Amino acid sequence: MNMNYFPSLLAGLLLAVSTHAVETGPGTTSVPVRFQWADSSRLGRPFAKDPSVIQFQGHYLMYFSLPPFATNLAPAGAPRGWSVGIAQSTNLVDWKKVGELWPAQACDKNGLCAAGARVLNGRVHLFYQTYGNFPKDAICHAVSADGIHFERDASNPVFHPSGDWNNGRAIDAEVIPFDGRLLLFFATRDATGKTQEVGVASAPLNSDFSRPTWTQLGDKPILRPELPWETRCIEAPTVTRRGDQLVMFYAGGYNNDPQQIGVATSRDGVNWTRQSNLPLLPNGRAGEWNSSESGHPGYFADETGRSYLFFQGNNDHGKTWRLSGVELVWQGSTPQLKSPQAATHQ
């Protein structure tokens, strides 16, 4: 997430609320999307970003970013910064919001967003970023037994990068177990604050993932923009394992540059190679719902092994944002978008 808001101080609590949502069927697009969905409770127009999807306790949960409330729509005690929304589904197509995660600690008093979720040992671990502090934004951690009500880590924020190759910021968290460790991928900026790039840290898999457990891996970015379509930004890494390789889907380009989605692979989580010089999932054509961008991917595989890539898009340069998803098929460690002819709704 790279939009720059600096909301005022107001701490809140976790709150499940009833909201208005925008839910539609598949849109007209060159990308075979399964659905389009957004929440309209904050601004009175569709607006949801940064999807992360898990399967938990018999249903699917999607964590996403919600913007600050418009003044005329804010309930009593509402936070004035960003928050994390939680939506539920039984089929990965039809979604209903079931909760929100509001600021509750000093570190996230200005806002929180862009959560990455992972189920570990029967509980949901949520790694999310503070927001509104720019170079001081960092990664926080919370745990839940039901996927909706979370206990915050008392040591939050648990991670921010060090070294002269970055400006100290950490956003867009993604974690994956790998060889006895939990790898934490994050986006940061270079020392000038102008170029977005990706780094990685690790903690023992049997730890509590609090601040002392994390070790930064390396003193340089693991992926930084190099291709024309990536402009000056690589962010929102989301990672899966295929055999002995890790596969990363990443967003190239700042919001509405347009942002598009590429793929890279690694055998150790530190050294990465792009699969192509072109994006796997580009922005849409003029007039399509995602013509301004296809961005911020979130990878998910269900219990049957079917793979999906969730992402955000819009066609009005960010006035609205909708979430969607495509199904993937694999040839070894190489993903492809499933063709529209083969796509089916569950």
**pLDDT given at position 31:** 72
**Calculated CA dihedral for residues 210, 205, 202, 115, nearest 10 degrees:** -60
Distance of CA 69 to the CA centre of its chain: 20
Distance of CA 278 to the CA centre of its chain: 21
For residue 12, give the amino acid letter.
G
pLDDT digits (tens, 9 = 90+) for 214-247: 999 999 999 999 999 999 999 999 999 999 999 9
* Other beta carbons within 10 Å of 72: 6
Structure token digits, residue 297: 């991917």
Rounded Cα–Cα distance for residues 329 and 213 (Å) = 36
Beta strand pairing call for 181-189 and 245-252? unpaired
Rounded Cα–Cα distance for residues 14 and 84 (Å) = 10
Given a cut of 50, whether residue 9 has pLDDT beyond it is no
3-state secondary structure of 71: helix
Closest CA to 46 of 15, 75, 23: 23
174, β-bridge pairs: 185
pLDDT digits (tens, 9 = 90+) for 127-138: 999 999 999 999
User: Mean pLDDT score of the chain, rounded to an integer?
Assistant: 91
In what side-by-side order are the strands of the sheet with 49-56?
Answer: 49-56, 59-66, 83-89, 96-101
Given a cut of 90, whether residue 345 has pLDDT beyond it is no
What DSSP designation does 96 have? Answer: E
For the chain, the distance separating the N- and C-terminal CA atoms, rounded to the nearest angstrom, is: 30
Max mean pLDDT range (24-28, 33-37, 186-190): 186-190
Element (DSSP H or E) covering residue 151: strand 151-152
Label residue 159 exposed, middle or buried (CB < 10 Å: 0-12, 13-18, 19+). Answer: buried
Check if the beta carbon of residue 101 is closer than 8 Å to that of residue 130.
Answer: no
Given a cut of 90, whether residue 155 has pLDDT beyond it is yes
Question: C-alpha angle with apex 279: 327 to 219, nearest 5 degrees?
Answer: 110
Sign of CA dihedral 5, 293, 40, 185: negative
Rounded Cα–Cα distance for residues 90 and 156 (Å) = 32
Place of tokens 């974690």: 175
Residue 125 CB contacts under 8 Å (≥ 6 apart), including other chains: 117, 118, 119, 141, 142, 143, 175, 209
Position 32 confidence tier, pLDDT thresholds 50, 70, 90: confident
Given a cut of 50, whether residue 123 has pLDDT beyond it is yes
- Residue 81 phi, psi dihedral angles, 5° rounding: -110, -170
Position 12 confidence tier, pLDDT thresholds 50, 70, 90: very low
User: What domains are there in the chain, each with its CATH number?
Assistant: 21-337 (2.115.10.20)
Q: What is the mean pLDDT of residues 189-200?
A: 98
Rounded Cα–Cα distance for residues 43 and 158 (Å) = 31
**pLDDT given at position 343:** 34
**Calculated CA dihedral for residues 246, 251, 253, 259, nearest 10 degrees:** 150
Omega before 135 cis (within 30°)? no
Given a cut of 90, whether residue 192 has pLDDT beyond it is yes
* pLDDT > 90 fraction of the chain, expressed in percent and rounded: 88
The whole model's pTM is what?
0.91
